[in-house]
Amino acid sequence: MLLNEAYFWTDTIKDWKRLLQNNDLKMIIINCWQNLIKTRKVKIYAFVIMPNHIHMIWEMLEKNGKEMPYASFNKFTAHQFLEFLRANPYRLTGYKVKDLERKHRFWQRDALAIHMYDTDILEQKLEYIHLNPLQDHWNLVEYPEDYRWSSARFYEDGTDEFGILTHYKDRF
CATH number reported for the structural domain that contains residue 156 in this entry? 3.30.70.1290
pTM > 0.85 = yes
Task: Report pLDDT for 110.
Answer: 86
Residue 144 falls within a domain, yes or no? Answer: yes
Residue 22 falls within a domain, yes or no? Answer: yes
Task: Report pLDDT for 72.
Answer: 96
Nearest-10 crossing angle of helices 69-85, 23-38? 150
Residue 150 falls within a domain, yes or no? Answer: yes
Which residues in the chain come in under a pLDDT of 50? none
Pairwise CA distance, residues 16 & 27, whole Å: 19
Task: Report pLDDT for 91.
Answer: 84
Residue 165 falls within a domain, yes or no? Answer: yes
Residue 1 falls within a domain, yes or no? Answer: no
Question: Which residues form the domain of 85?
Answer: 6-170
Task: Report pLDDT for 88.
Answer: 82
Task: Report pLDDT for 18.
Answer: 95
Task: Report pLDDT for 93.
Answer: 84
Query: What is the CA 81 to chain-centroid distance, rounded?
Result: 14
Pairwise CA distance, residues 91 & 93, whole Å: 6
Decide if 117 contacts 123 (C-beta within 8 A). Answer: no
Instruction: Domain count for the chain, please give it.
Output: 1
